[in-house]
A and B are shown apart, each in its own frame.
Chain A
């Protein structure tokens, strides 16, 4: 086989992966996070359907010209994007209007077609050159790695990644072309398409907070910027009044501030200096207890708190934020009024600094509050809070806040998390609530009698209700913000007594950093009753991903089983062994890859860096593994060895825990070395299996590739759910078990290369 064909495969995969990531990020910006699942699931259908199509119609393998396939692939990108803008899916109406499921289903063919075409070309080439499976796999994986890296480079521009997708498909078409005419047609088609791209960006969902402010009118866009983390917008609006938990007896109107949004969600509000309302916010409680010399506020939402701290006389106040784009937008909007640091909080805190107060403030926006079940939050974990406590000076204060969201569950978890940091932690803890926020304060070394008196008098002035503090009496609670029963006081007592509650309130750890995952599957019916039948938040905060995944898995399963039925009717024996082997490999690979990305957020400094580094390193190492596979003979030991290596990686991360080399680069290198070693081994079984079945007279490479594609994407989509249930170590162990299952079902012998 020629080098041009391999280069064609490289560009096909590069363009497809680039399209997948940029499409997912674009829809996450404009619509919501559940679209990432939808796009992954649509890819599942597209890839699966291509394999089935070639399995059912093998004659098409000879008829299809690969350069045309690549050309259509390039055409399908803008077509898919523009047509998807016409779909009228409204996720909120899904609760009462079943027809929305049909609207949702229309996205599958729209998003799935490019993946169908891509898979058609790759599968065809693989089938035609089965003896060179290792080389093709190398080109395929290398293309994927390059696509991931290119996305990171192109993400600072709105449409650059999308344009590059088309260019890469065009390059593939030229490289795969067997006729001279293609060389002229392709650039002409592509040039025409590129001109359309600026008009293809989908509109911002009206459910995004930014869209809500736009609807009220009188909005002024002060700044906008694109980057790997998405898009920031800085706006001024007379309706942007931000006063979380404001004391209701404060008599003046709250002046409008300047809002900084990331992907349509409010992240920080630069307060207006003309009013004194900031002194009447509950976030001032720890600063009124004692004035810190050095305070550290973690997260961009802490800008309001930084203003309050400065007004209450704090010495040095630093706001720490990990997202470069946000730091830049806030710095521009605030004009240097606040001291901002861009760093990974964990690494920053491992530095030499010591503080009198460390605070993790309440989110500025309202999107998905208390409902982001699948989102990792490495800040509200036992390990991070312990690190904060360790970096406090004697008598220092650790503060954390979340929105108040009855019935109490996140509040119970936060209280347990902070009070459980030390054996006598309950003596050092106090918790208060306003009408809309919940605050926990932990004093290193414990509260004095004066401290408790100060807390009580400040809380009274701010109209806050105590939830817990040493010596608190029931009659002191539930006086300003009144529930029919003192549910929050009762919650604190029951947490303190160690009673099992309806909700899962165990403190999150870095192995399972899902703060909003409070549902116990064994008590799901009681939970729905406690939420008074309101299941929409579950739907929007993670349940939607499950609905999408189930819908896609159902359709794909039908598609995969169909050929089996057809072949049986035709009297042909369908071999289940190879099918199962590739199914296990696909699921195992993606389960591990997603777990690596989620774990990489901790060690590589943020989700964007994790995705952008893990994908190229893992796929690049797999490409090398695929290349190396030519020297190996198939057998039980290959997938079994992969299972062992993945298992070792799980143990390595578990042992590594929260430690650090002291530098971000050092941590990153160790992490990438571990996953690259895994990637190398994980890249071997797939081309090895293809070589085996390619030599057989009853070979059904397309069907096996369809099985692998189906399992890969199902594995990717279900990986966060697996991690939610059993943690990242559990997810990696499960991947290891899948590789073992593949080892048991590995296809029979193959002639030596």
Chain B
């Protein structure tokens, strides 16, 4: 075979793969990928709560990411969702959910709806989820997704999550899914006695430690858990 024909065929092959491979993947419901994610990233890394494992198996993560990166939805990494925000790595979603220690009857507040994926997972683990997003675009997008897929126990609103959602408090558990400069006092006030606030704690841009803040009367106990990194996904990922 001469070199010219070889190059033409090679390019044709690559073009075909690029053209058809995503279509083949999109045709399915990604259940195989989702099960693989749960086995390899969630259970293999020590998540034991059967409720959390079941929720991670059920909620279609690919529906919460932009269509252009749908095929990467079940990879072991955070993904850009626009507006400089990310959908967290699957393990972090599962781990934070497990730290909430939910049994099914709780009222939960989430600060930072983002893609809506974490709220969707939580909605399978508790009675009501209240979620607040500061970015209008993300709020509109996630609310539409909740409505379309029938997440009737998720209540979303747009606003500054720092002040919580006092009308629906106190909450059994609160989750902050963005790195915090300090623990917002209004959120501690909206915790029930013994309630848990989960958040990534640190003043560093790149290093945080997941912490569980427990309200004990007038006192507060902070327990450090896993070191994590909530990178503000920006740059070209925003575009």
Could you tell me which A residues sit within 8 Å of B by CB distance? 88, 90-93, 96, 205-207, 209, 211-212, 215-216, 238-239, 241-246, 248-254, 362, 366-371, 403-406, 435-437, 463, 480-484, 532, 534, 536-537, 540
Contact = CB atoms under 8 A, between A and B. Distances in A.
Contacts of A368: 205
Nearest to A534: B229
A90 B201 contact: no
Contacts of A238: 160
Contacts of B238: 206
Per CB-CB distance, the 6 closest pairs between chain A and chain B, nearest first, are A206-B234, A90-B235, A248-B220, A88-B236, A369-B204, A243-B182
B203 A436 contact: yes
Interface in B118-169: 134, 160, 162-163
A87 to B, nearest CB: 10
B201 A249 contact: no
B59 interface: no
Contacts of B207: 369-370, 405, 534, 537
A481 B219 CA distance: 12
Interface of B: 77, 83-84, 134, 160, 162-163, 181-186, 188-189, 201-207, 209, 211, 213, 218-224, 227, 229, 231-238
Given A366-B205, A405-B202, A406-B227, A435 B183 contact: yes
Given A207-B235, A248-B213, A366-B204, A483 B224 contact: yes
Nearest to B75: A96
12 contacts: A88-B235, A90-B236, A244-B203, A248-B188, A252-B185, A254-B184, A369-B204, A436-B203, A534-B206, A534-B207, A536-B231, A537-B207
A253 B181 CA distance: 13
Contacts of B233: 92
A242 B236 contact: no
Given A244-B181, A248-B185, A436-B201, 17 more contacts: A92-B235, A207-B232, A209-B205, A211-B234, A212-B84, A239-B162, A241-B181, A241-B182, A249-B219, A253-B163, A253-B184, A254-B182, A362-B203, A369-B205, A404-B203, A482-B224, A483-B224
A532 B193 CA distance: 34
B182 A436 contact: yes
A534 B205 CA distance: 13
Contacts of B205: 207, 209, 366-369
Contact of A212 (B134, B209, B232): B232
A438 to B, nearest CB: 11
Nearest to B163: A253
A91 B237 CA distance: 11
A96 B185 CA distance: 36
A246 B182 CA distance: 6
Contact of A248 (B160, B222, B235): B222
Contacts of B188: 248-249, 251
Given A243-B181, A248-B188, A435 B204 contact: no
B224 A366 contact: no
Contacts of B206: 371, 534, 536-537, 540
A250 B238 CA distance: 36
A254 B83 contact: no
A482 B185 contact: no
A534 B237 CA distance: 21
Contacts of B182: 241, 243-246, 254, 436
Given A241-B162, A252-B185, A536-B206, A215 B84 contact: yes
Given A253-B162, A366-B203, A406 B222 contact: no
Contacts of A436: 182, 201-203
Contact of B77 (A90, A96, A252): A96
Given A90-B237, A253-B162, A534 B201 contact: no
A239 B163 CA distance: 11
Contacts of A242: 181
Instruction: Count chain A CB atoms within 10 A of each CB in B160, B184, B186, B224 and give the residue with the most.
Output: B224
Instruction: Count chain A CB atoms within 10 A of each CB in B83, B220, B235 and give the residue with the most.
Output: B235
Given A92-B235, A206-B84, A207-B234, A480 B204 contact: no
Contacts of A534: 206-207, 227, 229
A244 B213 CA distance: 17
A671 to B, nearest CB: 35
B140 to A, nearest CB: 15
Contact of B235 (A205, A246, A251): A205
Nearest to B235: A90
Nearest to A463: B220
Contacts of A209: 205
B185 A254 contact: yes
Instruction: Count chain B CB atoms within 10 A of each CB in A249, A250, A368, A403 and give the residue with the most.
Output: A249
Contacts of B162: 239, 241, 253
B205 to A, nearest CB: 5
